[in-house]
Amino acid sequence: MFLTGLAALAVIPTLPTAARDLDGVSLYPLVAGCFVAASLLGGVLGGHWADRAGAQRPLAAGMVLAVATLLVSGASTSIWQLAAGRFLDGLAGGMVAVSVNTAIGQTYPDHLRPRVLALMSTCWIVPSLVGPPLAGLVAEWWTWRVVFFGLAALTALPALVVVAVLRGPAWAARKAPTEDRSPRPALMIATAVSLGAALGQYGVSGWDIRHLLFAAGGFALLGVFASRLLPPGTWRAARGLPATVLLCGLGSGVFFTLEAYVPLLLVTDRGAPPLVIGLAFTGAALAWAGSSWLQGRLPAHRPRHHLVVAGALVQAVAVTLAIAGTLPATPEYTAASAMVLAAVGMGVYAPSLTVLSLTHSPPGQQGQASSAMQTTQNLGQITVLGVASAVFNAGLAAGLPAPAAYGAAFGLLLAPCTLAVLLAARTARTAPR
């Protein structure tokens, strides 16, 4: 998980430079969106593979693929090769993330799962602190290719160790989990969802007819196929796992939309120095890890859906801060603090939903639950960010000043926060009396 976080965060500052050097700036939105789109497919494949054969096999395959795809990206001679590398990287990342969560569900007892999930969150602290600035310095002093090759070198030895350990007699003698007898989504469905996500990411990056057509096609594919990857009743928030999966997407969409637009607001409208933006990302990482650590040590009898409500309310306050940060009379730190506060909410919100999803999953089907959570997390990012981007671009096209357009995009985020608060009781382990 540490290596996954380092690779995911370190390459972000290098992608614009790579796109420029490869004469592919016009296709940069596609490169940036490939990772999230492929994570959908990787999560589906990894989850069902883990249910059939245990979490260790997709984990090993994901780590080996991660090394290979970093080499592909680092050796890119065209923007399309870089996009392919990012797509494969998302595929590997989705498989690893789902495999880790499935392994927790298959191995740890219920009362230890919150602490293990908190440990997984802390694995992102150091990558978030050193990954982006270090990668930016390497790309500036040498070349962006060194970032990819260096990450591949760091990941290669642990990947080989994992493969060697999992091929040993201790693991070979273990009995595989109960075979999943439920219908598995066809590869075509997962591929269609991943393609729809990629088209949607590209389409919302512009406001001309071409981008609108791409966005319409992408979201049409998501509308037709995405529901087949999710538990029945997800869109109507049926009690238990469906509601839990839905709320995962809502919360993730709110947080990552703030993470995308608050820095843009600070740079383009408030004239904030890079130090402020860097401190906002660092503070958000520490806040997420700290609140996740705290929720892992709350009394076991504390109802988990109460923590979901608390996390959603904190996110709503963060959205309000972001709206206030668009006003010229407020200091630039107002908007920056919204990212930190939103991370506090997610540190409580996300692990609580993961614990509930594993609780709602029958033995041998934790992989499906983890896959569904990964799918809605990515769908939430794409959908909420896409709608917010459409609102923002529409405001600019209508002649609104930039602060008002930002405010409208942020105001939209209050809707998923409110829905999460209202629907949290449906995620409870037992129906409320």
Task: Report the interhelical angle of 241-268 vs 274-295 (nearest 10°).
Answer: 160
What confidence tier does 431 reach under pLDDT thresholds 50, 70, 90?
very low
Higher pLDDT, 112 or 418: 418
Q: Which tens digits make up the pLDDT trace of 319-332?
A: 999 999 999 888 87
What confidence tier does 283 reach under pLDDT thresholds 50, 70, 90?
confident
Q: Which tens digits make up the pLDDT trace of 141-152?
A: 788 898 889 888
Query: Burial of 218 by CB count in 10 Å (0-12 exposed, 13-18 middle, 19+ buried)?
Result: buried
Task: Report the interhelical angle of 56-74 vs 2-10 (nearest 10°).
Answer: 30
Name the least confident of 41-50, 128-137, 255-264: 128-137
Distance CA 7, CA 132 (A): 10
- Work out the number of other CB atoms within 10 angstroms of the CB of residue 333: 16
Check pLDDT > 50 for residue 182. no
Check pLDDT > 90 for residue 161. no
243 and 300 Cβ atoms separated by less than 8 Å: no
pLDDT of the residue at 413: 96
pLDDT of the residue at 181: 46
Percent of the chain with pLDDT over 90: 17
Mean pLDDT to the nearest integer, 395-412? 88
100 and 1 Cβ atoms separated by less than 8 Å: yes
pLDDT of the residue at 44: 75
Name the least confident of 70-79, 123-132, 207-216, 314-323: 123-132
- The pTM score is 0.71
Closest among 216, 1, 242 to 98, alpha carbons compared:
1
Map tokens 């999966």 to a residue: 245
pLDDT of the residue at 407: 92
Reading the block at residue 242, the tokens are: 């469906």
Q: What is the CATH number of domain 1-174?
A: 1.20.1250.20
pLDDT of the residue at 346: 93
The CATH fold of domain 232-433: Growth Hormone; Chain: A; (1.20.1250)
Distance CA 400, CA 157 (A): 53
412 and 388 Cβ atoms separated by less than 8 Å: yes
Distance CA 43, CA 194 (A): 11
Name the least confident of 15-19, 74-78, 232-236: 15-19
Mean pLDDT to the nearest integer, 247-264? 87
With a CB cutoff of 8 Å and minimum separation 6, the contacts of 111 are 300
Cα(first)–Cα(last) distance of the chain, in Å?
Answer: 39
Q: What is the amino acid identity at position 64?
A: V
pLDDT of the residue at 97: 82
Check pLDDT > 70 for residue 176. no
Check pLDDT > 90 for residue 384. no
